[in-house]
Amino acid sequence: MAEKLDVLLKEKRVFKPSKNFVEQTNVKEWMNKHGIKTYDDLLEKSQDTEWFWEEMSKIFLEFYSPYKKVMEWKPPYVKWFTGAKYNIVHDALDKHAKGKNKSKLAYIWEGEPGDVEKYTYEELYHEVNRLANGLKSIGIKKGDHVGIYLPMIPALPIAMLACAKIGAIHAVVFSGFSAHALHERMVDCSAKAVITCDGFYRRGKTVPLKKQTDEAVANTPKIKNTIVFKRTGETVPWNAGKDLWWHELLEKQDDECETEKMDANDTIFVLYTSGTTGAPKGVLHSHAGYALGISATMSWVFDIKDDDVWWCAADVGWITGHSYIVYAPLMLGTTSVMYEGAPDTPKPDRWWEIIEKYKVSILYTSPTSIRMFMSFGEDWVEKHNLSSLRLLGSVGEPINPEAWIWYYKHIGNKKCQIMDTWWQTETGHHCITPLPITDLKPGSGTKPFPGVSADVFDDSGKPVKNAGGSLVLLKPWPGMLRGLYKAPERFQETYWKKYPKRYLTGDMARLDEDGYFWVQGRADDVLSIAGHRIGNSEVESALVSHPKVAEAAVIGRPSEIKGESIVAFVRLMKGVEESDDLKKELFNHVGEEIGKIARPEEIWFVKDLPKTRSGKIMRRVIKSKALGKEVGDTSTLANPEAVDEIKTIV
Ligand code: PRX
């Protein structure tokens, strides 16, 4: 039987951008130039994929030498701009440092204690060159892997750019990951060196990083050197002969360094992401295709103008940071804000203070953060003048309409459209996303980016309308992953086996009558209740829409009668009393929001929910604990202690 997901939550509100706003957008300007009148026309014309992406490349890429073919598709492998010589660092840095953006700020960085550093494009270029020369001086060459284990400090983008500049492949590991996680990734990619720092600031304390790095690289003979950036100045263990201070290594280096002319399809980086089973997957991206995808999406989705101040408040350790803190903003010559620390340090208005201080015009964050700010309350926001904001973004998980509306009202002051961008580590850049000219429906990522082609399939590979199914991408896009490092079978199996020549995203979605996509969450996060399939995230969204609920995680418990029954773990807003009456209220509330079928059989109040370092609630861990199964490795969780909050209920 065809797999169906009953989408019971129906969001009907539509938010249209103002005519004046639409008229001034980058995308509209391009449409006018090409005689394209409407959004639908744009989506249709851009399905001439090679024509469209070639047009885009004329705007965003400068090749060292011309390409032979725009795209070469030998499923499941794609190549873009074959035969060309290219390096993303030319577009991200070199051309700005020698051109009109020379004195423009690339980064305004604020440390958690309040220290500020600013880098112009020219300054950033010189720092990158010095490190690139430093790397060469210790024997790092084109094609070598370099691990980067750094917090949100300018050294992180500098390290990535320095690697890419000389053709070395960076493998950034999120600084919140454990020594074990770093070790595993460094061994997998055979890194020759690791770049880290002494420590960094988080919630008013210093977090040591060098110690953890030492632990991680203790049994990795391939790693010859550890380069250590001095951030906190704390005393660190030192291995003479192996460890090098960043500042000492750079002291004698020239601040010019020739950028390696790479093949357009050479790998730029590997980034590890978790799968449903087994070791993390090393997702591979390459220079020119990736560069084109990220710059085109950033320019059109976020409508970047010369005077914008952009803040993507993710961590560079994730794909969001790789694409939209480091490479894309630099390619567009944008000024970015970067912040080191916690959002509630010293107080829950730190973000709003930063936006006011630097006149941030575009903010890009995640639903988890938005819900956290909701639970802090509006008062913290209202203390600040956020009138510089003109556009907002969301990424990482489905945004529940309640959070969408709060973001729209309280952060955007009802004048900023919200770009709910759906994409993955594997896609490299936004794939399903509104443009600033799109009518928005809260909770929907709207339509594919021009040149991208998506659909929702049932189990037999037939397109389904207005019912849940598997989200698939129908043809290659520029930032498409080029494989999994050293795991070609897993690449084939994970993404290409179910529907040959179509990319399986692993997400469930619904396509509505207007062609809008509603992403429900991962395929393995779908409940089967009395023959109906319901997205866990839908029930969670309904719970969170209750004013007393801060966060919720929903799992399915095997039930003889219904297939599965719903169990919810709920964190309440500060100051709300737990009671049986409230449980009843929430039970009824879900019934009202979605339908009786989605009402949880049990609701448990918890103080915290186990989350990944990127803030995603770990339903799998919660489910294992609740069902009395092996929980497995919790070392990559942000708050492993929260697992104890989950009761075993069988
Ligand atoms: O399930 C989708 C969810 O995040 C997954 C990708 O995770 P990751 O590779 O860590 O990259 C996150 C940042 C791009 C997707 O398979 N996801 C991401 N964005 C959205 C989303 N789900 C719904 N709406 C989104 N806007």
Report the CATH number that the domain containing residue 605 is assigned in CATH: 3.30.300.30
Amino acid at 157: P
Q: Are residues 331 and 409 in the same domain?
A: yes
Q: Are residues 434 and 336 in the same domain?
A: yes
Ligand 1 and 398: CB distance under 6 A: yes
Helix (H, G, I), strand (E, B) or coil at 102: coil
pLDDT tens digits for 26-40? Answer: 999 999 999 999 999
Would you say residue 423 lies in a domain?
yes
Instruction: Work out the pLDDT band at 312, boundaries 50, 70, 90.
Output: very high
Lowest model confidence (mean pLDDT) among 77-86, 302-311, 591-600: 591-600
Would you say residue 170 lies in a domain?
no
Q: Which of 324, 397, 504, 616 to mutate to test the pocket of ligand 1 (most atoms within 8 A of CB)?
A: 397
Spatial separation of the C-alpha atoms in residues 494 and 492, rounded to whole Å: 6
Ligand 1 mean position, distance from CA 125 (Å): 32
Q: Are residues 597 and 490 in the same domain?
A: no
Spatial separation of the C-alpha atoms in residues 148 and 194, rounded to whole Å: 6
Give the residue, by CA position, lying nearest to ligand 1 atom 14.
Answer: 424
Q: Are residues 496 and 598 in the same domain?
A: no
Ligand 1 and 319: CB distance under 6 A: yes
Would you say residue 47 lies in a domain?
yes
Give the residue, by CA position, lying nearest to ligand 1 atom 5.
Answer: 424
Whether the per-residue pLDDT at 2 is higher than 50: the answer is no
Ligand 1 mean position, distance from CA 423 (Å): 5
Ligand 1 and 331: CB distance under 6 A: no
Select from 363, 438, 446 the least CA-distant residue to 399.
Answer: 446
76: domain CATH number is 3.40.50.12780
pLDDT tens digits for 320-371? Answer: 999 999 999 999 999 999 999 999 999 999 999 999 999 999 999 998 899 8
Ligand 1 and 538: CB distance under 6 A: no
Ligand 1 and 334: CB distance under 6 A: no
> In sequence order, what DSSP letters do the residues of 322-386 get, joined into one string?
IIIIIIHHHHTT-EEEEE-S-TTSSSTTHHHHHHHHHT--EEEE-HHHHHHHHHH-THHHHTS--
Pairing mode, strands 145-148 and 193-197: parallel
% of the chain exceeding 90 in pLDDT: 81
386 versus 636: the higher-pLDDT residue is 386
Select from 396, 368, 347, 426 the least CA-distant residue to 611.
Answer: 368
Would you say residue 510 lies in a domain?
no
Ligand 1 mean position, distance from CA 422 (Å): 6
Whether the per-residue pLDDT at 292 is higher than 60: the answer is yes
8-state DSSP, 573: P
Q: Is 591 left (phi over 0), alpha (psi -120 to 50) or beta?
A: alpha
CB of 554 closer than 8 Å to CB of 617 = no
Q: Which of 424, 429, 518, 526 to mutate to test the pocket of ligand 1 (most atoms within 8 A of CB)?
A: 424
Q: Are residues 438 and 563 in the same domain?
A: no
CB of 42 closer than 8 Å to CB of 450 = yes
Spatial separation of the C-alpha atoms in residues 631 and 618, rounded to whole Å: 11
CB of 351 closer than 8 Å to CB of 320 = no
Instruction: Work out the pLDDT band at 558, boundaries 50, 70, 90.
Output: confident
Ligand 1 mean position, distance from CA 647 (Å): 28
Ligand 1 mean position, distance from CA 505 (Å): 10
CB of 103 closer than 8 Å to CB of 332 = no
Would you say residue 470 lies in a domain?
no
Q: Are residues 481 and 552 in the same domain?
A: no
The b-or-e profile of 389-404 (16+ CB within 10 A means b, else e) is: bbbbbbbbbbbbbbbb
Would you say residue 8 lies in a domain?
no
Provide the domain count of the chain. 2
Q: Which of 323, 422, 433 to mutate to test the pocket of ligand 1 (most atoms within 8 A of CB)?
A: 422
Q: Which of 5, 7, 423 to mutate to test the pocket of ligand 1 (most atoms within 8 A of CB)?
A: 423
pLDDT tens digits for 416-425? Answer: 999 999 999 9
pLDDT value of position 176: 85
Would you say residue 515 lies in a domain?
no
CA atoms within 13 A on the CB side of 557: 18
Q: Is 95 left (phi over 0), alpha (psi -120 to 50) or beta?
A: alpha
Rounded CA Rg of the chain: 24
Instruction: Work out the pLDDT band at 631, boundaries 50, 70, 90.
Output: confident
Helix axes 536-544, 580-593, angle to 10 degrees: 120
Q: Are residues 491 and 595 in the same domain?
A: no
Q: Are residues 363 and 298 in the same domain?
A: yes
Ligand 1 mean position, distance from CA 507 (Å): 9
Q: Which ligand 1 atom sits nearest the alpha carbon of residue 425? A: 9
The b-or-e profile of 575-600 (16+ CB within 10 A means b, else e) is: eeeeeeebbeebbebbeebbeebbbb
Joined tokens for residue 46: 């851009």
Q: Are residues 411 and 317 in the same domain?
A: yes
Whether the per-residue pLDDT at 3 is higher than 50: the answer is no
Q: Are residues 379 and 481 in the same domain?
A: yes
Instruction: Work out the pLDDT band at 512, boundaries 50, 70, 90.
Output: very high
CB of 398 closer than 8 Å to CB of 541 = yes
pLDDT tens digits for 519-547? Answer: 987 776 667 676 565 778 778 988 998 99
Q: Are residues 417 and 491 in the same domain?
A: yes
Would you say residue 422 lies in a domain?
yes
Cα–Cα distance list, 119 to 16, 23, 106, 153, 299 (Å)? 37, 33, 6, 12, 22
pLDDT value of position 562: 65
Give the residue, by CA position, lying nearest to ligand 1 atom 12.
Answer: 396
pLDDT value of position 92: 98
pLDDT value of position 371: 87
Give the residue, by CA position, lying nearest to ligand 1 atom 18.
Answer: 396
Pairing mode, strands 105-110 and 116-120: antiparallel
pLDDT value of position 353: 98
pLDDT tens digits for 367-383? Answer: 889 988 998 999 999 99
CB of 236 closer than 8 Å to CB of 215 = no
Q: Are residues 495 and 535 in the same domain?
A: no
Residue with tokens 């492949």: 169
Helix, strand, coil distribution of the chain in percent, nearest 5? 30, 25, 45
pTM of the predicted model as reported, rounded to 2 decimal places: 0.87
pLDDT tens digits for 201-253? Answer: 999 999 999 999 999 999 899 999 999 999 999 999 999 999 999 999 999 99
CB of 186 closer than 8 Å to CB of 147 = yes
Beta strands in 154-287 (DSSP E): 169-172, 193-197, 199-202, 205-208, 225-229, 243-245, 262-263, 267-273, 281-286
Ligand 1 and 445: CB distance under 6 A: yes
Q: Write down the mean pLDDT value for the chain.
A: 93
For residue 593, the enclosing domain spans 530-645
